[in-house]
Chains A and B, each alone.
Chain A
Amino acid sequence: MSATAQDPNIGRVEIPDVLDLRHTYDSATDKINGVILTKKTPVPIAVAMGICFLLAGLLFMTIGRLLTMGIGIWGNNQPVAWAFDIINFVWWIGIGHAGTLISAILFLFRQEWRTSINRFAEAMTIFAVMCAGLFPLLHTGRPWLAYWLFPYPNVMQMYPQFRSPLMWDVFAVSTYFTVSALFWYTGLIPDLASLRDRAKNKLTKIIAGVAAMGWRGSARHWQRYDIIYLLLAGISTPLVISVHSIVALDFAVSQLPGWHTTIFPPYFVAGAVFSGFAMVLTLAIPVRALFGFKDFITQKHLDAISKVMLATGLIVVYGYAMEAFIALVYSANPHEEFLMKNRMFGPYAWSYWMLILCNAVIPQLLWFKRIRLHTGIVWVISIFINIGMWLERFVILVTTLHRDFVPSSWGMYKPTIFDFSMFIGTIGFFGLLMCLFIRFVPMIAGFELRELLHKKKSHHH
């Protein structure tokens, strides 16, 4: 299956294999576990952790203020009752898409390039969903009562209102989080066992031992493992689609011009995958450089991810085009038409055109193989896509809400310092969790890598 060997265009650009085949089982395992089984934390990781820790502190300070003062500390108002809170929620949820997609869907499709990045991407998913979950909870006026969104028997004899998409959100996001976490943890067990076996430090042995749940690597273990992993992959796959479809329904079910549109669910899912893969690149490229994992996460990976980004990016662009077409031409709805013109030329036009630049124009560079193989450029593009996807949600939220049906109620939205501190705080919190993960958990699925190595080498010989 070596792409290089069968590439008819030999001599133009070399795309390496998904794995450096000079590795042995031992060397691969040592390299992966070596990050954990050492007392030395690489300086960049320590620095990043420090910064992220401070930013996470900022998050919790903001939350403290939010809980004591009320959400008035944000810039939300009438008519823009949702702003950064929901923008950030959707952005984080979108980022959380890549992990499960890589782990589950690519697993089902037997894409071998998923192996070195799935663990990492899944962790990213879980942390992103944690950040995302903070927003719908804290954006409510009375977060201490947010549990009322759960259907549980109570003396009030009240159930949630099942027609509301916010209700569906609760299920979609919580299910997604639970299954993703389970899937991630299940995949970790064999690696935790090898960590346990190789650790010299007693504490590491104990912690990894408990977490490995008695994994001995017996044939029965492996057999059961394969079944459960396949099942979880099967369960996760529809969730990848459902969670963002339902987030899209938060908007599509309303009757606001710019929200009330049937194209939202697929368009949101594509956008989520787009942003999720962008975030994987944003994180994987520096980590790979830092730990010398270029032999596990090769140019082949970056190339494959770039292609997925390009494809989903094109779907997203198609979404933008259809949105404009439906509003301006097809619907004949004057409110829709006004909304789209206001989006393009109104006071927030800058955000729309920035979005087009980031999400529609810049990713077109990925058509070129040279660019896909240039790590630096791909990294920069991934940053643009992250920004673009945030702007997309800004455009959807703010330009829709700030001018809807009745001109007397039109207004402008201005974020406050606490909107930013909350957003940057979640980035810090996410980064902190990522750093801890990188330092203390095998960030590459070692046993899968060994399996792949075995497959590749036997194919070679």
Chain B
Amino acid sequence: MSESTPRIGQQSDLTLEQARERLTRARGRRYWRSLEQLATSDGFQSMLEREMPRQAAAVADWDPIDRREFMRLMGASLALAGLTACTKQPEEKIVPYVKAPEDVIPGKPLFYATSFVHGGFAYGVLAESHMGRPTKIEGNPEHPASLGGTNAFAQASVLQLYDPDRSQAHMYLGRQGTWDQFARQLEIEMVPLQLSQGAGLHILTETVTSPTLAAQILALLERFPKAKWHQYEPVNRDNALAGAELAFGDTAATRHHFDKAAVILSLDADFLGRGPGHVRYARDFAARHSPLAAEGMSRLYAVESSPSITGGQADHKLSVRASRVEHIARAIARGLGIDAAPGETGGHEAWIEAAVRDLKQHRGAALVVAGDNQPPVVHALAHAMNDALDAFGKTVELIAPVEAVPAKQFASIKELSDDMASGSVNLLVILGGNPVYTAPADCNFAEGLKNVKLAVHQSLYRDETSRLCHWHIAATHYLEEWSDARAFDGTASIVQPLIEPLYGGRSAHEVMSALLGRAGRKGLELVQDTWRERSGAGDGFEKEWRRWLHDGFVPGTASPARKLKVKRGFASEAPAARALTPNDLELMFQPDPGTWDGRYANNGWLQEMPRPMTQIVWDNAVLMAPQTAAYRRLRNGFVVELQFAGRTVNAPVFIHPGHPEDSATVFMGGGRTHAGRTGNGAGFNAFAIRTSDQPWIALGAARDTGATRDVVTTQEHHQLSEPHHERIYRAATLAEFKANPDFIKKYDEFGQTPPSIYPGFDYSKGNQWGMVVNLNACIGCNACVVACQSENNIPVVGKDQVKRGREMHWIRVDRYFVGDPMNPEVALQPVACMHCENAPCEAVCPVAATVHSREGLNQMVYNRCVGTRYCSNNCPYKVRRFNFYKFADHTTPSLKLQRNPDVTVRARGVMEKCTFCVQRISEARIEAKKKGRLVDVRADGLQTACQQACPTKAIVFGDINNPDDDVAKQRALPLNYGMLVELNTRPRLTYLAKVRNPNPELEQPAAAAAHGGHS
């Protein structure tokens, strides 16, 4: 620390107002001078700490050379009091992805390839940057884990960057500390560790796939052989790891090829919604699970315990409680000739036999997938079944594990907590994660931390863990740091920053480097070191490096394939039969699709995202079957006390048709106490009853407490019945579709464009925008919802407003239950503005605030809108959204940085709705006009935000006048229909009807929906 840097703890009474007053008296050069005088004056630091903790930390951290930079920043900050748009790109060379102008052109966004890391695994993304501000995340079309698609988490990650509740300074014992202080203290702490070979030094990380971080940790372990490295995150893949060991006697990961599988059996695997490859798998699955797939439509059998989006896509779903999945798996395995002890099939023999026959008939094109919640033996059985079905090398590959050092994470955290309890932990460095909140209840992690001599937590938020650690190091967001990570198939991806750390955070690499005694090293050097060594490119490294940054990944780094033989006899022991007493309730722990394990709890977009399958917002709940709830006399919103192993937690009930009986899905991720202003108090903390020995399936109980809690959803009606059904959602089986490809026509009395007595507008010229949503491809992941929110500056309104029916999402994914209420089929339908050619909204607006463009867009003129809301009443699709209050946050400075500068932030009292991303259309049109032609969506790369985010390419947008355009081609398909066309709205958004592929053996064509049984 330099001498000129003010010290912490100086007492003075300088206030922000005084400081500002001193500055307002100065102008121009004098302004800077007086700022400098001010900065060196007494009490300045304490004033800063009080008023602007972020800058205070920055001042203390920077060496004197950086003072000028500080002056520049502080000048604006003090003048405007708070964070301003004064952000800057990182100093290091980063490489733009698509367009490489010589300099930043205002109004022209740049795209940089980087990687979003979730659960340790990389998802290649392109981050859109406006004048140095990342504003939007897109998928990286060239990255194997993305292919251009994203999930909701990646879409929402940009909001986390600007979260005003993020940790803004390093903290030591509850007061601000500096990085230098931290480094010095580490140096001192490391001295005794050198002597003890690191005994008492523990590192706790989440799943690590990052080659750089792994190399750093391994280097540390080499230097301190007695130090320990623990890995833990609550949603881990222990079972898959153990399953591989059980089946092969070796570690292996699986890489599935759903595009090559004709018949898929999911054993409680939510491969579309979870797991490192789910974005890619969704694409592959949707490509083949399509009536138009060249190789024939695939068929998905799903044995499912908790309702998941994968189960929603199943052609045959068997809803059984989680502990029964193993029994079903055994029966199917036996059917496939695998030596396994039988399990109870519980009346599902017909289903099992049909599935077995179907799988057998598709040897070499069949695929069995086991879920991460299922015990190792189910994974091993899946491997054995794949082996028996000749799937290896065809629909599934075995590869070396992607994790740097695979670990059984529950055992790992247990070991750490035991060590902590015994008092043998001297220095604990926790990189990311939030173990105080997420660790299994039997670990008593918070209690154990008290025995640690020095605990360090590097984290984005000063969360539950940080508050109990001595040191809290503010972490960098992935858009602020250099790093690397591997994707589901092992492909290494580079994480490059788009912006200087907003709050002076430090990356995990920098913390590790400090542990290794080199606190000053920057992330870029550390990451480059790793890759310089690995590439072996020598002098050519720089060129290679630039190429990797440009592409977003390092080619040829996928994990090598493994050839392993399935052992025999691992399943010969019969599973313990567990007879349930009437009060038993099997608890099935699942990550929340919005907040995951709680890490996204403070992200408003994810909190307000309707959770796939349930449409719940701002809460996690306990899902139960209607019969299970009825037996316990429970209704939606009744708070029950969940009991397991002597621990309890109170949670609201949410009844879900099709949920297996006698069990309950318990979502993790709620009940945070120090998540931030958004996440605190949302939901309940399921970790309070989750233990390390039964982390996924636990036999507990539920007792009605008599209390209630609102569980709010965006959709209150779930039945799709007459007269609405076929006017809205059309479906057929594959056999019906083949027999009558024009089956959709039977629902339209007057065809798709009913006659009108009025002359129509001539839409035959120019670009005519249209969209087709393929109901076969939509899996209901809601990535489009969040992408739209991010692109179009859509505000978050909060639980209370959603309860009143005032959510603002421009696109929604409607979810209906069709057929048998005990085991209904799920119908998913994304709905955005239909841009009707005869738009009912336009005729009724008294001030012409919503009008039609000659390109067929229904336009909303916010400035002109007075807010009569008649348009919304008259919209049959109810896609219009009204600003009942001033929903947009006009005050929080950091959130302003996130906004898309091309989209108006709407005021109170105006109507809004989907625009087909008119700002993107305009941009493309301007470029096309310069070239003197019409927009060609493919050549000009024009996509709507929802289309771009969709992992399955369910949404296609383009010019319906251009016969070469995908949208025109899809509109010409026999499956294409418009919603409620009998109203003669002539929607520009149309749907491709859903086609299911049921096994004729299980479902007679005439008997709709009544297939499968229930547990």
Contact = CB atoms under 8 A, between A and B. Distances in A.
B848 interface: yes
B908 A70 contact: yes
A146 B715 contact: no
B844 A79 contact: no
A166 B831 CA distance: 28
B805 A70 contact: no
B846 A161 contact: yes
Interface string B902-921: 00000111110000000000
A141 B882 contact: yes
B665 to A, nearest CB: 22
B911 A141 contact: yes
Interface stretch (B96-104, B159-167, B632-640, B873-881): B873-881
A78 B716 contact: no
Interface in B27-75: none
B1013 interface: no
Interface string A155-184: 000111101111100100000000000000
Interface stretch (A31-39, A333-341, A355-363, A369-377): A333-341
Contact of B909 (A140, A408, A409, A412): A140
Contacts of B907: 142
Given A77-B805, A166-B844, A255-B983, A404 B878 contact: yes
Interface in B687-736: 715-724, 727-728
A375 to B, nearest CB: 42
A158 B864 contact: yes
Contacts of B983: 255, 405
Contacts of B877: 405-406, 409
A165 B874 CA distance: 12
Contact of B812 (A80, A160, A404, A408): A408
A141 B878 contact: no
Q: Do most interface residues of chain A lie in helix, strand or loop, or is the interface mixed?
A: loop
B957 interface: no
Interface in A288-322: none
B866 A140 contact: yes
Nearest to B910: A141
Nearest to A149: B846
A325 interface: no
Contact of B848 (A82, A158, A337, A410): A158
Contact of B867 (A142, A161, A405): A142
A405 B876 contact: yes
Interface stretch (B352-360, B411-419, B883-891): B883-891
A219 to B, nearest CB: 49
B723 A411 contact: no
A407 interface: yes
Contacts of A338: 723-724
Contacts of A140: 866-868, 909
Given A148-B866, A254-B844, A406 B883 contact: no
Contact of A407 (B719, B874, B884, B911): B719
B846 A166 contact: yes
Given A70-B886, A406-B724, A412 B848 contact: no
B724 A149 contact: no
B430 interface: no
A69 interface: yes
Contacts of B812: 408
Contact of A165 (B721, B804, B844, B847): B844
B840 A79 contact: no
Given A161-B845, A406-B814, A141 B866 contact: yes
Contact of B869 (A75, A81, A250): A81
Interface residues of A, number: 53
A414 B806 CA distance: 13
A100 to B, nearest CB: 25
B848 A160 contact: yes
Contacts of B846: 149, 160-161, 164, 166-167, 170
Interface string B197-235: 000000000000000000000000000000000000000
B526 to A, nearest CB: 50
B865 to A, nearest CB: 7
A256 B847 contact: no
A253 interface: yes
Interface string B821-861: 00000000101000000001001111110000000000000
Q: Which of B715, B814, B872 has the most CB of A within 10 A?
A: B872
B488 interface: no
A194 interface: no
Q: Which of A70, A75, A163, A406 has the most CB of B within 10 A?
A: A406
B980 interface: yes
Contacts of A334: 722-723
A79 B814 contact: no
B816 interface: yes
A83 B717 CA distance: 21
B541 interface: no
A406 B868 contact: no
A82 B816 contact: no
Given A161-B846, A409-B878, A166 B870 contact: yes
Contacts of A55: none
What are the 10 A-B residue pairs with the smallest beta carbon separation, nearest first?
A141-B867, A141-B909, A334-B723, A72-B884, A77-B805, A409-B878, A408-B814, A81-B869, A166-B846, A72-B885
Interface of A: 69-72, 75-82, 136, 139-143, 145-146, 148-149, 158-161, 163-167, 170, 250, 253-256, 334-335, 337-338, 401, 403-412, 414
24 contacts: A69-B885, A71-B909, A72-B806, A77-B806, A77-B884, A78-B881, A79-B872, A81-B872, A81-B873, A140-B868, A141-B882, A141-B884, A141-B909, A145-B866, A149-B866, A158-B864, A161-B845, A166-B846, A167-B846, A170-B846, A405-B876, A406-B876, A407-B718, A407-B720
